[in-house]
Structure 1
Amino acid sequence: MAAEGLRLTPFRGLRYAPDRVGSLAAVTSPPYDVVVRPDGLHHLETANPYNIVRLILPHGPNGSPAAHHTQAARTLNEWRESGVLRRDARPALYVYEQRTRSVLQRGLVGALQLPRSEGVVLPHEEVIDEVVADRAALMEAIAANPEPLLLSYRGAAETTGAAAVIERAVHGTPLLATTTEDGTEHRLWAVTDPAELAEAAGDLAHRTALIADGHHRWATYLRLRDAHAPAGAGERSPWESGLVLLVDTDRYPLQVQAIHRVLPRLPLQRALDLAAPHFRVRALHVPLPQAAHALRETPGNAYLLTEDGETFHLLDAPEPGLLARTVRTDRPEAWRSLDATVLHSTLLDSVWHVQDVSGTIEYLHNTSAAIAKAASWGGTAVLMRPVAESTVRELAEQGVTMPRKSTSFGPKPATGLVLRTLDGTGAGEPSSS
């Protein structure tokens, strides 16, 4: 265990005023990288003029990314000045609950001090520099963390420390309660009592965490911390912390889902023709649920390809010699055998010759959305299987990163319930520990 642990500090959250926006559900959004563009973006923008997507995904028919970031900053300032967004009076850690018929998740939202030691917060996926640069430019422009990333830690199902603070908080009156259109109930409580904050801090100081969702946001936090390093010794910068949701997965296990690929420039028949000499290819004339079941039950590396959701093709049993030539040998076997590793190293790079750059690969969390995109573009949807959380943690603890977009942990926190400003007051306060 690392000598340095997690330091989650309270902050004065910036939240929507219900009397100004009407429905809290109508101003929330999924995380920026889950919004399906442009359809999902348009849906959210028209749901409410104050929807948070106008801050996390600013855009327009004209203008550079910098202009869009300036637009987001102007929007945030207008909402704050008009009282649409109001800052809480006292620094708090926020207990956040998500509930569906089958899932209950609770965790703590706070400003996590970005550790200098390795092994305190474990990444497990690679990131794209251009995405990090864009996120950094946006956060710098708006001087805020608009959405928390999701971190998981192992609390051994204990009912003391942070877990006890959470369970006591949920018996009180929540700051807000809303149900989003997907049927998920969201509730938020503020923990402001110094003794409660100290109890949570003392427990988390001995913990480490895995980045479950938000690798690009994490890399953004680190970049902004270094860019805004204090000039003098002993000075503190609000950029030394970042907004996170911390969940004890021993008490509230996360769900792990796959992230699918859509190749808009690769027609399905060409993908099959190129793969056939190296993989077993089988046509499945069955509906999606049966095709997905066949994918799950296939041993070894396997992928489900479709162009329209009517006919599916199962690719499996890759040629061992091809794997030996294309997959790196300086990584653990658990990494070498990942579906994502073989997809990117073997299929994309060596068989299909598709570069992983903007415009050639789209990453979608929703299966139906991936199929619809492939159909509209005349391309190929590559449907994936989820990776076991134990495998993710095993590799992360070895310092081995997986190919990007290998996993999708959830449920993901809704964006828009609480924001953290970085313009000074309220960005993150030391707790009383």
Structure 2
Amino acid sequence: MAQAPMLVRLYRGLTPLLLPLAWRSVSRKLTDQGVSEARARERLGQATLPRPQGRLIWFHAASVGESLAVLQLITALGEHLPQTEFLITSGTATSAELIAKRMPPRCRHQFAPLDAPAPVCRFLDHWRPDAALLVESELWPLMIVETAARGAPLALVNARLSAKSVEGWRKWPRTAGYVLGQFALFLTQNQAAADNLLSLGADPARVVTGINLKSTSAPLAEDAATVAELAAALGGRPLWAASSTHAGEEEIILAAHRQLLERHPDLCLMLIPRHPDRGADIAAMIRATGMALARRSAGEMPGAGQQVFLADTLGELGSWYAVAPIVFMGGSLKPIGGHNPFEPADFGAALLTGPHVSNFTESYAPLFALGAAREVADAPEIATAVDDLLTRPEHLTAMRSAARSFADRRQASLDEMVATLSTALSLRPAAPAGAGPDQV
């Protein structure tokens, strides 16, 4: 292996000096969130679980979104490699809690080691991963270099780098090339991510333009009792939803809804903010328009005289999508980058979106091509689109059918990803019975 550039050597020398400060900060945060001291010390590389026998594949994801996105991939790899064990690491208490609820077979969770020599080496000495898959933009130099040095092939899956990150790496081309040179495979979300990695010195033979990992995640769970309760409360009233909305978007959605009420006086809007803790402010905003609302966080369902249902809770999104035939996806009227369109598509919702979907460009392209999604830019365009779907049921049926077709491609995409990873990382299925365990 080529000698590490000066910047990497400097980083290796400085991180032990910064470790006490970093440890103080992360341990306090984890403790405040109810994590035990023993588990918090996993961030120092001190394992709280034994290493299982046989081959172990390590996945590292930064936080909630990345962790949940990778669980279905772990499940699929587990089916392909039935004698292989899995480890998933993350850095936040919330991600650990959610992973524990959805843990795939033969998998366990630990908090990731801080990127300093002692924690990383302690972690690797204990777990001895046979392959490592980092998710999205987790480019921690020591974690990467030390893992590769021990012979574990590395992949960066669902790879994407922010413009700021790319700009930073470009200032140090030798360091960027050295760090990226440790990977056997880059499986990117889209062509833009692939181009960024190539511009930073990634080996073109190792860069594969793939799909957004979130498109392979399992469908959201729905609660049958909640679905039935909402359907009964609506009593046959038409419904549309605006999901994952941000500040500055709710005003536009409410303006569109007011226009729609002129033609559809019994129409109900289900407003699902991205951050439910904004519920009180949004409720005040709705009241200021003169529209009546029901608020889910208060245990309410929409009554006959309530034009807006504010769904300001967590964990019920699948139930809401199961009822809503039309869903506008937020984070797209403002330059935020959009949010996951796969989740409502799983339920066959006709999709509307604003123009700002840079985080899901590769996903919206086929949705537009199939006729499953429609772009809208402001309140009048939203109102026109929803009105069209309400008054022309054949248009709504066609869009919903196209959305289901898009969602049905999930398993084929996942199988393709498993095959690509297995080839690049030399992961073979188990040997025939009696021939011993599967090996890397």
TM-score norm. by structure 2 comes to: 0.31
Taking CA–CA contacts closer than 8 Å with sequence separation of 6 or more, which of the two structures ends up with the larger relative contact order?
Answer: 1
The structure whose residues are more often strand, as a share, is: 1
TM-score norm. by structure 1 comes to: 0.31
Kindly name which structure, 1 or 2, has the bigger radius of gyration based on alpha carbons. Answer: 2
